[in-house]
Structure 1
Amino acid sequence: MPLCIPALIRKMESVFTLTEDERQVLETLPMQVMVIKDDQDIVRMGDRPSRSCLILSGFAATYKVTAGGKRQIVSFAIAGDIPDLQSLHLKTLDTSIATISTCRVGFIQHEALRDICLRYPRIGAALWRETLIDAAIFREWVMNVGQREAYQRMAHVLCELLVRLRAVGLAEDHACDLPITQAEFADALGITTVHVNRVLQQMRADGLIVSKGTQIKIPDWDKLKQAGEFDPAYLHLESDQAA
């Protein structure tokens, strides 16, 4: 597939069946493709971008930083995501986006996106739907960090990542590659790196996860969902993707 965007195609086709013209326009999206190493900003808060970034491969994170320099990750981005799509309508970014692993990123000019949305209304509606799902994820993360204990927070985020990766064909059954460091999990969960380490050790002891390097496997999916109070409804996926 041109420009390696099967994840974006798959996300679109979970909502509706693409026509040949719609598929063609997505497969030939005009974009500047760049490889960005891990731990690098893609865009920064305060930027006034004229383009949006499509994650073609790798993992990224949307984050904010306090005046004292503490980072709060507010969502993770995977292949097929356009984490700054709101910049199509909001002139100034209020968050930053950084790579977690080495990423291939496709930068799409806003002018091209607007043209596609006008010529292909269903694609425009699907992109708007994606921004609404992003907002739903942000709300769920507020609940996660604000009202759940650390063990539940970790279980919930692991469930979310696995479901989202599986939805775009990047996870098999209940196993996936997850190159997120303990420090990055700490920034996402609002706890210390030491606490993350303890939580992961306890989850292994409880039989919730098996990990080797960046590979993670969930031996008991129902038990992990229960531990994290995870209900995938906020991801608005097809039922078979969220199972």
Structure 2
Amino acid sequence: MEDSCVIRNLSHFTTIGPEEARILHELELEPIKYKKDDKVWREGHQPDNIYTLHSGWAYTYQVMNNGKIRVLDIFLPGDIMGIRDATLPHHATSCSMLSSGDVCPLPAWRLTEIFHEYPNLAMSIHASSARQQAVITDRLFNVLSNDAKCRVAHFILEIYYRLKRVNTDLQEGFTLPLLQKHISLVLGLTHVHISRVIKEMEENNILKKARNEIEIMDIKKLHNMSNFDPERYTDAINSHLTHHISKKDHRDTL
């Protein structure tokens, strides 16, 4: 079978067995190609599907009453999208592509089958959703508690460590297909302020930025100015839950 970034993502939480891998591969057999700025779903519509992001980047956002946009999720290859909205009567957010990419829909009703038949896989999906929420919470604390330099450094490290989870060969350089307007919406800073901070980082040999490419030159300095703690992004699962699943899976094989 072709390597799957979704399986690489979910296998960080629990062991994905052959049957569970087959289910996940089935979800990626008929990806839908999206272009940059295409909408995957719209706020207020009924959630018909959840989605796996096979390639490309996407983001969710809400449009406020005053017309301003609030960015919530930033999805990377391997992420499951729309899982938090799946049980709601209507999508709480809209989702658009930050770049072209392949998105694989899964009918929402199939979640009941997965949760009933494949508890190990269900736990991985839930863990993935919980960590997405943890990223949003961590980013909110970053915006509310830190100055501009710290916010930018924290955000760059967030993206770097998330990319490294599904691509262990990643070095210090990566593509960041976000416009300045997206970063400003994420961090609550003006375009000018972000440009000034990045320029200062370049002058201090902390990183280099060329168009959509970022290269981290001194990750230790970036950490020192960011208050970023990679341990908060742990893949570890509550042992009470994994122990129960392991016992059930063992009984099912007897």
Match of 1:209 in 2: 207
CA RMSD of aligned residues (A): 1.8
Match of 2:93 in 1: 95
Given that residues 13 and 127 in structure 2 are in contact (C-alpha distance below 8 angstroms), is that contact kept between their aligned partners in structure 1?
no
Aligned pairs for 1:38-77 (under 5 A) are: 38-77=36-75
What secondary structure, in the 3-state scheme, does the structure 1 residue paired with 2:91 have?
Answer: coil
Match of 1:224 in 2: 222
User: How many residues are paired up?
Assistant: 236
- Mean Cα displacement is larger for which, 153-162 or 96-105? 96-105
Match of 1:196 in 2: 194
Query: 1:197-241: CA deviations, max 9, x gaps?
Result: 111111111222112232211111121112111002232237xxx
- Mean Cα displacement is larger for which, 22-31 or 87-96? 22-31
- Equivalent of 1:143, from 127, 141, 144? 141
| 2-structure distance, mates of 1:144, 1:99 | 24
Amino acid at match of 1:219: M
Match of 1:241 in 2: none
| 1-structure distance, mates of 2:181, 2:34 | 20
| 2-structure distance, mates of 1:170, 1:41 | 30
1:64/1:170 CA distance change after superposition, 3 Å: farther
Unaligned runs of 5+ in 2: 237-254
Amino acid at match of 2:174: C
Q: How high is the sequence identity, in percent, across the aligned residues?
A: 26
Unaligned runs of 5+ in 1: 239-243
Given that residues 31 and 109 in structure 1 are in contact (C-alpha distance below 8 angstroms), is that contact kept between their aligned partners in structure 2?
no
TM-aligned CA deviation for residue 170 of structure 1:
7.3
- Equivalent of 1:112, from 96, 110, 115? 110
Given that residues 30 and 112 in structure 1 are in contact (C-alpha distance below 8 angstroms), is that contact kept between their aligned partners in structure 2?
no
1:117/1:94 CA distance change after superposition, 3 Å: same
Match of 1:159 in 2: 157
Amino acid at match of 2:38: Q
1:63/1:234 CA distance change after superposition, 3 Å: farther
Amino acid at match of 1:199: V
Given that residues 174 and 218 in structure 1 are in contact (C-alpha distance below 8 angstroms), is that contact kept between their aligned partners in structure 2?
yes
| 2-structure distance, mates of 1:107, 1:69 | 29
Given that residues 45 and 96 in structure 1 are in contact (C-alpha distance below 8 angstroms), is that contact kept between their aligned partners in structure 2?
yes
What secondary structure, in the 3-state scheme, does the structure 2 residue paired with 1:18 have?
Answer: coil
TM-aligned CA deviation for residue 50 of structure 1:
1.3
TM-aligned CA deviation for residue 45 of structure 1:
1.6
| 2-structure distance, mates of 1:95, 1:154 | 24
Q: Flag as ranges the 4+ runs of structure 1 deviating above 4 A.
A: none
| 1-structure distance, mates of 2:82, 2:147 | 30
| 2-structure distance, mates of 1:69, 1:32 | 36
TM-aligned CA deviation for residue 108 of structure 1:
0.8
Q: TM-score when scaled to structure 2?
A: 0.87
TM-aligned CA deviation for residue 189 of structure 1:
0.8
- Mean Cα displacement is larger for which, 210-219 or 125-134? 210-219
- Mean Cα displacement is larger for which, 11-20 or 197-206? 11-20
| 2-structure distance, mates of 1:183, 1:127 | 31
Given that residues 34 and 102 in structure 2 are in contact (C-alpha distance below 8 angstroms), is that contact kept between their aligned partners in structure 1?
yes
Amino acid at match of 1:192: T
